[in-house]
Amino acid sequence: MAIDRSLLSPAEKLLWQYGVRDPSHIDLEAIANYRGAEVVYRRLCGCAARLVAAGDRAIISVGVGSYPGRQRFSLAHELAHWICDMDHGSFRCANEDIGPQNAEAKNIEAYANGYASQLILPSFLVDPWLDGKRINLDTAKALGSEFDASLTASAIKVARRAQAQTCVACHNQTKRIWSQKNLAFPHDFYVKQELHQDTAAFSMAFGKGSGLSRPVKEAADRWLQGPEAYRRTVETQSLKLPDDTILTMITLLPGK
């Protein structure tokens, strides 16, 4: 594998240093242990994960109430605090602090999320894996099972690494909860607040569809607002997440 190590992010450098050359090598508990942190899974009250530090030792507790991809992300998030924020002592991180969709703000929680995303889905392994694959949720699902990552984290990763104008959005029955655009996505286009009633996502949100929809081409103004959105077409695919919210990947196809 030809890798320019100077281009690796701090989390990727850490993985590289521990000999990670394949997704199956990413053993977060082993890295935590090497770094003096013990990992325990237990029931937690009032937070999703916590880090209790004492000198150069720490205990990372991960709440057992969530599904495995979520627990893995929580572990990576606390590991990021342990490695990057050692001066700050201990952390109690709420469910809403932890998540790949919250990695852009300039605060300590967002930094930990960005670092955690790179620990679980390092670009130096994801990019060659993605080469030649379609940009949709089928690919995100396959990426998630290859890298043992949640669907949300995998979908955001696929969108971010895509050349196409792609974004990922998460809605519930009444509103958009979050959205993430990639760098190619036009800055003056936004994902609409509400699901359009003619979309597969709407049917899923109101209990009619489940699982994963097929990728479809549809009018862009069902999903997006922006200059002449009514003339444009998007390719979309939606999926119902375990918490009943709907994740959609939206690619704006080239205009005429």
Site string for Zn ion, 75-94 (x = CB under 5 A): ------------------x-
- From 21-29, 110-118, 129-137, 211-219, give the range in contact with Zn ion by CB under 5 A: 110-118
What are the contacts of 152-158 at 24+ separation with CB within 8 A?
152/99, 152/100, 152/101, 152/241, 152/247, 153/69, 153/73, 153/100, 153/117, 153/120, 153/121, 154/121, 155/247, 155/249, 156/100, 156/101, 156/117, 156/180, 157/100, 157/117, 157/121, 157/126, 158/130, 158/249
Q: Taking CB under 5 A as the rule, does residue 116 contact Zn ion?
A: no
Give me the residue whose beta carbon is nearest to Zn ion. Answer: 93
* C-alpha 77 chain-centroid distance: 12
Nearest by Cα to 3 from 161, 129, 124, 130: 124
Q: How far is the CB of 77 from Zn ion (least distance, A)?
A: 5
Q: How far is the CB of 225 from Zn ion (least distance, A)?
A: 33
- Cα(17)–Cα(241) distance, rounded to whole angstroms? 34
Q: How far is the CB of 88 from Zn ion (least distance, A)?
A: 10
Q: Are strands 91-93 and 176-181 parallel, antiparallel or unpaired?
A: unpaired
Cβ closest to Zn ion, residue 64 vs residue 216: 64
Cβ closest to Zn ion, residue 95 vs residue 173: 95
**Site size toward Zn ion, by CB under 5 A:** 4
Q: How far is the CB of 124 from Zn ion (least distance, A)?
A: 25
DSSP 86-111: GGG--EEE-GGG--TT--SSSSHHHH
Cβ closest to Zn ion, residue 95 vs residue 225: 95
Q: How far is the CB of 205 from Zn ion (least distance, A)?
A: 29
Cβ closest to Zn ion, residue 76 vs residue 224: 76
Q: How far is the CB of 85 from Zn ion (least distance, A)?
A: 9
Token duo for residue 226 = 């922006």
- From 54-62, 96-104, 122-130, 220-228, give the range in contact with Zn ion by CB under 5 A: 96-104
- From 105-113, 125-133, 174-182, 240-248, give the range in contact with Zn ion by CB under 5 A: 105-113
Cβ closest to Zn ion, residue 109 vs residue 235: 109
- Cα(21)–Cα(164) distance, rounded to whole angstroms? 27
Residues that bind Zn ion (CB under 5 A): 93, 97, 109, 112
